[in-house]
Structure 1
Amino acid sequence: MDHGFFVELIVLLATSVFTVWLFKRFKLPAILAYLVAGVIAGPQVLSVITDPKDLVLVAELGIVFLLFSLGLEFSVPKLVAMRQLVFGVGSAQVIITLLIVMLLVVSLNQTWASAFVIGSIFALSSTAVVVKSLNESGLTQTKRGQIAISILLFQDIAVVPFLIAIPLLGAEGEGSMMFAILAALAKGAVVVTILLSAGKWVLPRIFNQVAQVRTDELFVLTAILVTVLAGTLTNFFGLSMALGAFLAGMMLSESQYKHQLEADIRPFRDILMGVFFISVGMALNLSAMITQWPLILSGIALLLLVKTLIIRHLAVLAGETSADGWAAGLMLFQMGEFGFVLVALAQQFDLLSPEISAALLGIGVLSMAVTPFIINQDKQIIAFGGRIFGTTQQDYIEQQEEAEFETNLSEHVIICGFGRVGQTVSRFLKSEAVPYVVLDVDPVRVAEAQAAGENVQYGHARDKAILKAVRVDRAKLVVVTFGDLTKTQTVINNVKALSSNARIMVRTKSDEHMGFILEEGADQVVPEALEGSLMLVSQVLFESGVPMSRVLRRIRKERENRYGQMHGFYQGETTDLAANKRDLLEFIHAINIPPSAFAVGKTLESLKLEERRVEIVGLRRDGKEVSSPEPDTEIKAHDVLVVKGKPRRVERAERYVLTG
């Protein structure tokens, strides 16, 4: 057994863990961390793995799973709903950027094949970095966010023909590029027909049989098998394995197994993609990047200028505001993660020189690194550019705060989210003639509800402009029905910031974050799990002969006490004790007091467990329960002390009671 291999693997993993942790502390993308880890572990620094080709096969699997996940997200209804932006602005951006960059590169005495590769790389942006930054900044549902996501969606589709064309360009050499692309598309059409037919008639039956077995391992294995088989089929036709994986994902995107497949594949995808970017980092030629720094800076400037201007003008032509166009252009100026894939693919077929490849990788790393900063500072950047292009910062702010609708309601209820809970609330409000307005971000659901006469508007309550439009300052109540904690926190903060006197009611699935939400400013939190238990308790008590008036008093008291009797439970074998869950739970734990315990002979009061934020809920002695033990009750050997609190506090309290 080669022990050297395990040493290399351990050092590589340790380097990756440290760099990812460090980059996340500075809120930088994990992709960049993997690239840096590859540089450190590569032959130019530590030489942990002297031959990066050892990782090529694993890295290729990472791309295969990435494309499979992309295919799962490829929703035809979503494309139809956003077709003007996706196929209008998105396609025009990719084609125009590709042509402009190709002409510039050819003018620098590069071949048409190399120019096509570089143009393809520059035409794409980073879906991972942009979408993550949009989510973190709460801009996903704004108009500029929708423009950016629409363009990214078409770019993701455009990756597929690029992956088809580049290997054939390498095979054709200086031959006809158009012929190579047409031949690739023809082969692609055959493969698509075969795979879509299999997806329609064969795969549903296979996954139905697998799902009936109810074995997670078999489901994951089947998903991996389908992905690799599809990739092998496209590879047999001389096309990219990644194309086959994309088609496999697309086949299953409309199936009932989509979300389960996505969840099962994600760990493999993330780890293998990390390996891919590590292999890219190992291939980085640092000395070449240092010598090519003028080319790298020129490339970043070209990206920023060309893509931003193209996206801005295309957005305006599509009827969007100039400010939204500028903002979307700045979001998408960078080179994307698929650019690294195309660089690696082009290197395999000798379409790019080592110097140009190093420069492109440098452009990608630096442009992705500054993207989160640019998205967060877009107001200041647009204000600076406004003096040149005629758009002032005030214009930007005014356009940003415009809403497409406004309501004249007063003393009304604002419902945030129109899922099953929101729809149920609205029906009861309507039956009692209570005025209300609903906010939702699902375009299909909003269109359906508006057609049926519901007072539903498209917009996210995280945007202050939307809250102003629905007159939150005159509202009686704001009801938050979605379960996302971050979004809920933003809504509460925005309602408070707009000086609204409306009461805020939040629906949650459980009581894990109830205290936090109340501290943020919510007036009432309704945990579904506890409310369901209360309804069950009320029925059990009534059926057991307890008068309904007494049952209702108990239920009302429990709610006023913030479900105090319903907190704390005995842990079991299946209790989730993960690090992110552990401090959100409350345990009830029985502590057996042996004769040698520290607490023997001491009173409950003298132990001062309340200072350790642990509550004593009971005491058992000689097999009988001592109801409501007094503070001066003395603990004896063989007593059982029952305490309630957070897991870590209960553990510390038990240690103190036993050992002092």
Structure 2
Amino acid sequence: MLNLTNTGFSDTLVILGAAGLVIPAFARFRISPVIGFILVGALVGPAGLGTLVGQYPWLYYLTISDSHSIEPFAEFGIILLLFSIGLELSFRRLWAMRKLVFGVGAAELFGAGLILAAALYLTGLSTGGAIGLGLALALSSTALVVPIAGTTSAVGRAAFAMLLFEDLALVPIIFMLGALAPAAASDGGWVLLNTLGLGVMTIAILFVAGRLLLPRMFAQAARTKSPELFLAASLLVVIAASLATTAAGLSPIVGALIAGLLIAETEYHGEVESITAPFKGLALGVFLITVGMRLDLGFVLAHWAPLLGATVMVMLVKVAVTTGLLKLSGARTGTATETGVLMASPSETTLIVLGVAGAAGLITGGTATFWTTVTAIGLTATPLLAKAGQFFSRQIERQEKNDTPAITDAAGPGTVVIGFGRVGRTVADMLRRHDLPYLGVDADIDNVTAARRDGHPVLFGDVTRGELVDQLKLGHAKALVLTMDDPVLTVRLTKRVRGWVPDLPIIARARDADHAAELYKAGATDAVPETLESSLQLSEAVLVDIGIAVGPVIASIHEKRDEMRKAIKAASNLDREPRLRRIRQSEVPGQA
């Protein structure tokens, strides 16, 4: 008979139950589940309700009394995270980022580490202990920062470059701490060099074997059309690469990152990414629960003042160093500030380095417990730091008036384009090609900065603020173009502008036929559904490719477009549902 009191089953029940409750509950209140997982870990962990298992045995099934029992799952979560990051990269992109990775990344880690080490040395720590603890606290969380910032935005690229160097530097840091240990052997330096040499050889073998074997292996898996086999092949690659780097003395996360990079170079990376995504999220949640288990709420309440002071000190040092280095490298003030605040807290790898420093005798058990709690507090605050960084970035960018186009000069009799992303920039390019004046408006400072760099007159501002819309002087504009990817805001803005500028042409981007009908009811002159245009472009390509002359094709496309727009306009004045159902069915030519 199955023994349900087995620790593994009990821990699995708590973990899966926490994931099932935390994610939807915190998503409902628009709070990051990161905080929820850490708080649940603190609540059900050994320092929380786990202490009451002796008095109330039934709590055994709702708590985890041994935090070490799920640490392997947490490590597997970090491995899957690094693997997914590798899938989003390519060797070309890594080469393009080399200056950020090995320049700014190295300067950030060692600069912040040395400043923190100097401060800790003044508090009475030994030289080795101060260096180890300073470098540990200088690390930032790949597991939390990358999902928050991504890898494509200006902030995400800068943060990821520095985090990548930190992940690569983790193993040398660990071996350096071993060499600094009071009981270290005299040949510690030789051991470090030997391990690094073996690691480099292992990585080279992985690259060669991956280039030769992975395309063939995934091709065989793809021919079976079995998602299970594809998943098994993906996990096999990750585990094999991680075991190889571990056997060479390197961190398993290095192997996971290499596995992701190698698969990213194949044509199967999209399928692998989609199949492994659910496992990554669940495993990351398990890791965060283990972080929460390191929080002893009684210890926090008893020492809240020094813990708060230490946490703030670490964050201020890292914000100052990261922001300053990014500014020196040419980043915008807003980007540098947001990145610095986002990366201010310590990392999950800080816990690894603290453990190594404690095992090497560089710091005492009490010191390790104190800074472990500081790390857990910092990780809990990371989502809040992300919000704070965004706020500070917006405030800084709003205060910077350099190269900001004047509304009175730019709007004038020209066209106002609200939303200057991919669609808005295309509209502006066409207006500029015909020498027509225009003004762009966007609330994303990255879009604004990139557009200004290319010579577009773009204003940074949030159109949800009524005073900004008033300042645009739309009564003197030739047309208003709305390209925002926010259906509700587009309808609301159309209705408002139409109410006090009745003759202004308003051309709006619509998500689909339903949204287009709402825009027409709100007063839009033209509403262009994305589904309509994509289906018409597809139809045009098909007709031309099968040999129909271009002239008749273009004429028929124009006729179909006018016909569908008239149907949508008519539907906006009638009972919408039955009519729009027929419109949607006719949006893809040739489909009944």
What is the rounded CA distance, in whole Å, between the counterparts of 2:274 and 2:326 in structure 1? 35
Are residues 1:2 and 2:3 paired?
Answer: yes
SS at match of 1:334: coil
What is the deviation of 1:276? 1.8
Aligned residue for 1:4, secondary structure, equals: coil
Gap change, CA 1:272 and 1:297, over 3 Å in 2: same
1:371: how far off?
Answer: 4.8
Check 1:104–1:523 CA distance in 2 against 1; reply closer, same or farther (3 A cut): farther
Structure 1 counterpart of 2:212, one-letter code: W
| Cα distance in 2 between the residues matched to 1:461 and 1:209 | 52
Question: Whole-Å Cα distance in 2 between the matches of residues 257 and 113 of structure 1?
Answer: 46
Residues 43-442 of structure 1: pairs in structure 2 closer than 5 A: 43-47=46-50, 48-78=63-93, 87-110=102-125, 114-126=129-141, 146=154, 149-163=157-171, 165-166=173-174, 169-170=177-178, 173-174=181-182, 175=184, 182-319=193-330, 325-340=336-351, 342-343=353-354, 353-373=364-384, 376=387, 396=396, 399-403=399-403, 411-412=414-415, 414=417
Q: Secondary structure at the match of 1:3?
A: coil
Shift of 1:240: 1.8
Are residues 377 and 34 of structure 1, via their aligned partners in 2, closer, same or farther at CA, if it must alter by over 3 Å? Answer: closer
1:228 deviates by: 0.5
What secondary structure, in the 3-state scheme, does the structure 1 residue paired with 2:249 have?
Answer: coil
Cα deviations by residue, 1:35-79 (Å, 9 ceiling, x for unpaired): 222222222333323222221222221121111122223445545
What is the alpha-carbon distance in structure 2 between the residues aligned to residue 24 and residue 399 of structure 1? 33
| Residue aligned with 1:268, SS | helix
Could you tell me which runs of 5 or more consecutive residues in structure 2 were left unpaired when the two chains were aligned: 51-62, 544-551, 586-592
Q: Distance in 2 between matches of 1:558 and 1:72?
A: 44
Work out the CA distance in 1 between the residues paired with 2:92 and 2:371.
Answer: 35
- Structure 2 distance, partners of 1:491, 1:329, is 37
The answer to whether the 8 Å contact 2:491/2:519 transfers is no
| 3-state SS, counterpart of residue 505 of structure 1 | strand
Task: Give the structure, 1 or 2, with the largest relative contact order (CA under 8 Å, sep 6 or more).
Answer: 2
- 1:455-482 CA-partner distances (Å, limit 9, x unpaired): 76899897999x99xx896764565668
Indicate conservation of the 8 Å contact 1:168/1:180, yes or no: no
65-74 or 556-565, which deviates more: 556-565
What is the CA-CA distance between 1:7 and the residue it aligns to?
5.0
CA contact (8 A) 1:125 1:152 kept: no
Report which stretch shifted further, 149-158 or 170-179.
Answer: 170-179
- Matched residue, 2:37: 34
Taking a change above 3 Å as real, the CA distance of residues 229 and 111 of structure 1, as seen in their structure-2 partners, is farther
Q: 1:372 to 1:242 in 2, by over 3 A?
A: closer
The AA in structure 2 aligned to 1:244 is G
Aligned partner (choices 555, 567, 573) of residue 558 of structure 1: 567
- Report how far residue 568 of structure 1 moved: 4.0
Superposed CA offset, 1:499-531 (max 9, x none): 9967242153x4576678789997654333345
Is 1:437–1:455's contact at 8 Å kept on the other side of the alignment? no
Within 1, Cα distance between the matches of 2:192 and 2:403?
44
User: What pairs up with 1:435-584 in 2 under 5 angstroms?
Assistant: 476-477=478-479, 484-485=485-486, 489=489, 503-508=506-511, 510=512, 524-530=526-532, 554-562=563-571, 564=576, 567-568=580-581
Task: Give the stretch that moved more between structures: 175-184 or 354-363.
Answer: 175-184
Tell me the CA shift for residue 302 of structure 1: 1.4
Q: TM-score of the superposition, structure 2-length normalised?
A: 0.71
**Helix, strand or coil: the match of 2:140?**
coil
Distance 1:550 1:403, change over 3 A: closer
Q: CA deviation at 1:297?
A: 2.0
CA shift in 2, pair 1:505/1:41, >3 Å = same
1:192 shift after superposition: 1.9
Work out whether residues 291 and 376 of structure 2, in 8 Å CA contact, stay in contact via their aligned partners in 1.
no
Provide closer, same or farther for how the CA distance between residues 115 and 458 of structure 1 changes in structure 2, counting only shifts above 3 A: farther
State whether residues 489 and 517 of structure 1, in contact with CA within 8 Å, keep that contact through their aligned partners in structure 2.
Answer: no
Q: CA deviation at 1:83?
A: 5.9
Q: Distance in 2 between matches of 1:166 and 1:520?
A: 63
Q: 1:361 to 1:24 in 2, by over 3 A?
A: farther
Give runs of aligned pairs for residues 634-649 of structure 1, distance below 5 A: none
Letter of the 1:41 partner, please give it. V
Name the CA distance, whole Å, in 2 between partners of 1:433 and 1:203.
52
Q: Return the letter of the residue paired with 1:157.
A: F
Secondary structure of residue in 2 paired with 1:61 = helix
Which one-letter code corresponds to 2:5 in the other structure? G
* Structure 2 counterpart SS, 1:239: coil
Residues 1:30 and 1:240: Cα distance change in structure 2 (over 3 Å): same
Shift of 1:233: 0.8
Distance 1:261 1:408 in 2: 48
Cα shift at 1:227 = 0.4
Note if contact 2:415-2:481 (Cα within 8 Å) is conserved in structure 1. no
Task: Classify the secondary structure of the residue corresponding to 2:5.
Answer: helix
* Distance in structure 2 (CA, Å) of the matches to 1:549 and 1:379: 44
Structure 1: distance between partners of 2:195 and 2:369: 28
Residues 334 and 367, structure 1, Cα contact 8 Å, conserved in 2: yes
| 2:65 match: secondary structure | coil
Deviation larger for 175-184 or 93-102: 175-184
* Root mean square deviation, CA, Å: 5.2
61-70 or 369-378, which deviates more: 369-378
- Cα distance in 1, alignment partners of residues 125 and 138 from structure 2: 18
What secondary structure is seen at the aligned counterpart in 2 of 1:561?
helix
Residues 160-181 of structure 1 deviation map (CA, whole Å, 9 limit, x = unaligned): 2214542674488443776665
Q: Which amino acid counterpart does residue 297 of structure 1 have in structure 2?
A: L
The amino acid that maps onto 1:35 is I
- CA displacement at 1:267 relative to structure 2: 0.9
Residue in 2 that maps onto 1:631: none
- Distance verdict in 2 for CA 1:158–1:535, change over 3 Å: closer
1:369 shift after superposition = 4.2
Contact 1:71 1:250 in 2 (8 A): yes
Structure 1 pair 434–229 and aligned structure 2 pair: CA distance change class (3 A): same
1:248 is displaced (CA, Å) by 0.9
Q: Structure 1 residues 422, 147: closer, same or farther in 2, change over 3 A?
A: closer
Fraction of identical pairs, as percent: 27
Question: C-alpha distance in 2, partners of 1:213/1:481?
Answer: 43
CA distance in 1, matches of 2:170, 2:201: 17
State the TM-score, normalizing by the size of structure 1: 0.64
Q: Which has the larger radius of gyration?
A: 1
3-state SS of 2:528 partner: strand
Taking a change above 3 Å as real, the CA distance of residues 549 and 238 of structure 1, as seen in their structure-2 partners, is: closer
Give the deviation of 1:301 after TM superposition. 2.2
Q: Deviations over 1:572-597 (max 9, x none)?
A: xxxxxxxxxxxxx99xxxxxxxxxxx
How far does residue 252 in structure 1 lie from its aligned partner after superposition? 2.6
Bigger fraction of residues in helix: 2
Q: Which amino acid aligns with 1:105?
A: L
User: 1-side partners of 2:531 and 2:391: how far apart?
Assistant: 45
Q: Deviations over 1:616-637 (max 9, x none)?
A: xxxxxxxxxxxxxxxxxxxxxx
Give the structure 2 partner of residue 608 of structure 1. Answer: none
